[in-house]
Amino acid sequence: MKLEMIEKEAFAGDYESAVLEQWKTCISEANGISEKRNNANNIFITLNTALFAVITFALDYKSILLSAIGIAICILWIYTINSYKKLNSVKYEIINEMELKLPLAPFTSEWDRLNNRYEYVRLTKIEKFIPWMFIILYSISILYPIAKGLIVHICSGIGG
């Protein structure tokens, strides 16, 4: 879907100023979304760090349930990252379309340079690395008491 714009000739006011002000508003909203995304990441990091700290004090069968909860939280975190990514992507698509009506197109130029000149790794990939690391740690926390119990059971069967 293309951004619908009123042509300059059909606009009653100062067209360039109106486009610039709307562009500034979109930039501000995109920055606000990025700030909310960072806040959400901080909340998820804090929650997972606290939960994992509790789990490490009791690596037994109770930790299995807590680890499963941790994995669910991480999956929610990944969905949240994807949601913010989609929201910001749409915002920047609109900003890029608006830049067609402005004398300069700094964001369009920035993305072109990042994608064509540098080996740019998108922030979303880096962000998703953290919940995946927690998922691995939680999985180990699930497997450890199970493996420990099996080893004890096998060893008691051998020696008994």
Give the pLDDT means over successive 10-residue stretches in the chain (160 positions): 69 79 89 94 98 86 91 98 94 87 83 80 89 97 86 78
pLDDT value for 2: 65
| Residue ranges covered by each domain of the chain | 13-159
The whole-model pTM stands at 0.81
Of 73, 68, 24, 5, whose CA–CA distance to 45 is shortest?
73
- Side-chain half-sphere of 92: how many Cα atoms within 13 Å? 17
pLDDT value for 128: 95
Contacts of residue 73, Cβ cutoff 8 Å, sequence gap at least 6: 44, 47, 48, 51
